[in-house]
């Protein structure tokens, strides 16, 4: 019988977590603090790992070792390339040779997700997608939005774990639809950021300050939760307002372009948004956060 923070835990499944970075740390923290037996995999940044171990988590050295200690494994890594490596590599989760439920919370490519789910099923591994909405601050608070694709009975098994770090759980349909919806969501958010950056640059060219821009947008019909996060950098200079890199933004809108191409959809707005991020990353700003696109576009136009 496992003891977790002074509480008896006899019924909760054993949880593995790979990817305890900006989003993953808060998710994993909520899981272990709400009584789930948790094993995390080592990370190049030791601080979140050591913090979670201090809260009662165990540490595994490889995905295979983590799988051996887990019933359900959550992935919160960069994208499909990393998900494939964690699942099917020589020391991957599948190498443990045991049944697992794997929940991919990364922003992955839907076609890769569905293919992996089909390939892993004969090995006793069930893969569902549960990508995330909101920010690392919301992850720490246990208030993320989760978009879940998978069979009803599997999603119901996963639900108690997802509830540990979410404020909303939205069913999207079969496996792959969660990641599809996530790409659409990120297209909107990355598109907003690109629009804000260009609008601010144009305003700057003709003498309108960010403060004037903000006084009109904030509280008006064009205000929204994403803008509120964005303005915290634009107006208040909070570099940590939205800790999502431009490199990851480019990855996500590139996945969107691939999805559009696969179904023969013309997406000229998506292409324009992607080019905004490709230019930012190509000029050495990949590790900057999304709201900093305002500075990049301004500099490209000789402002500031």
**Residues with active-site annotation:** 182
Cα 132 versus chain centre, distance: 5
DSSP code, position 39 = E
CA dist., res. 178 & res. 152, Å (int): 13
Q: Nearest-CA neighbor of 85 among 39, 24, 41, 47?
A: 41
- Identify the sign of the CA torsion 241, 243, 245, 250: negative
CA dist., res. 298 & res. 131, Å (int): 32
* Helices vs. strands in the chain: H and E counts, helices first: 13, 11
CA dist., res. 208 & res. 225, Å (int): 23
What is the token pair recorded at 173?
A: 């349909």
CA dist., res. 111 & res. 103, Å (int): 16
């Amino acid at each position: 019988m496992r003891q977790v923070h002074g509480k008896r835990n006899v019924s909760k499944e054993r949880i593995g977590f790979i990817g305890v970075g900006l989003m993953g740390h808060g998710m994993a923290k909520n899981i272990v603090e709400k009584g789930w037996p948790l094993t995390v995999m080592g990370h190049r940044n030791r601080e979140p790992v050591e913090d979670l171990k201090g809260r009662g988590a165990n540490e595994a050295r490889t995905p295979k070792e983590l799988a051996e200690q887990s019933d359900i494994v959550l992935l919160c890594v960069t994208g499909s390339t990393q998900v494939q490596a964690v699942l099917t590599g020589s020391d991957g989760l599948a190498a443990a040779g045991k049944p697992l439920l794997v929940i991919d919370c990364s922003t992955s490519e839907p076609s890769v997700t569905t293919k992996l789910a089909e390939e892993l099923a004969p090995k006793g591994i069930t893969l569902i997608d549960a990508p995330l909405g909101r920010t690392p601050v919301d992850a720490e608070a246990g208030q993320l939005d989760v978009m879940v694709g998978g069979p009803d009975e599997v999603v119901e098994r996963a639900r108690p774990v997802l509830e540990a770090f979410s404020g909303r759980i939205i069913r999207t349909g079969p496996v792959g639809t969660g990641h599809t919806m996530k790409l659409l969501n990120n297209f909107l958010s990355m598109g907003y950021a690109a629009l804000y950056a260009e609008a601010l640059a144009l305003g700057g060219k003709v003498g309108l300050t960010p403060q004037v821009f903000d006084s009109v947008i904030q509280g008006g019909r064009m205000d929204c939760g994403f803008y509120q996060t964005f303005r915290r950098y634009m107006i208040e200079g909070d570099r940590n307002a939205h800790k999502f890199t431009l490199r990851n933004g480019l990855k996500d809108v590139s996945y969107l372009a691939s999805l559009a191409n696969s179904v023969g959809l013309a997406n000229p707005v998506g292409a324009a948004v992607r080019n905004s991020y490709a230019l930012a990353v190509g000029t050495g700003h990949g590790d900057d956060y999304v709201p900093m696109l305002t500075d990049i576009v301004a500099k490209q136009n000789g402002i500031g």
